[in-house]
């Protein structure tokens, strides 16, 4: 009668809620750093304006630090969606408060 013992799933070490975004120190730093086009001063609006020429993924190059999330290709230069000119990715970050 009690032959069949049902083993309840013992939930290993799985957290209940989503853990992504728990460490937001990096995000806070991103927010303090302004991102704008060195050529026309267009300010980044946190939308995915960039497409990978290699695998055609659409992504926000400033979230991934100029690396394609799909094929992991890194882009040294970033195209401005506003003035369509290329600038070095590093030149887009400007620290001011």
Site for Zn ion, rule CB under 5 A: 37, 39-40, 42, 52, 54-55, 57, 68, 70-71, 73, 80, 82-83
In degrees, rounded to 5, the angle at the alpha carbon of residue 80 between the alpha carbons of residues 57 and 40 is 165
Helix (H, G, I), strand (E, B), or coil: what is residue 26?
helix
Task: Identify the CA nearest to 33 among candidates 68, 76, 62, 64.
Answer: 62
Q: In angstroms, give the least distance from the CB of 40 to Zn ion.
A: 3
Shortest distance (Å) from residue 26 CB to Zn ion: 22
Least separation, in Å, of the C-beta of 38 and Zn ion?
A: 8
């Amino acid at each position: 009668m009690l032959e069949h013992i049902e083993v309840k799933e013992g939930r290993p070490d799985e957290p209940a809620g989503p853990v992504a975004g728990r460490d937001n120190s990096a995000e806070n730093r991103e927010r303090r750093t302004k991102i704008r086009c060195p050529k026309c001063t267009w300010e980044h609006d946190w939308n995915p304006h960039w497409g990978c020429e290699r695998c055609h993924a659409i992504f926000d190059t400033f979230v991934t630090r100029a690396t394609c999330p799909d094929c992991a290709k890194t882009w040294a230069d970033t195209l401005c969606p506003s003035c369509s000119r290329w600038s070095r990715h590093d030149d887009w970050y400007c620290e001011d408060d």
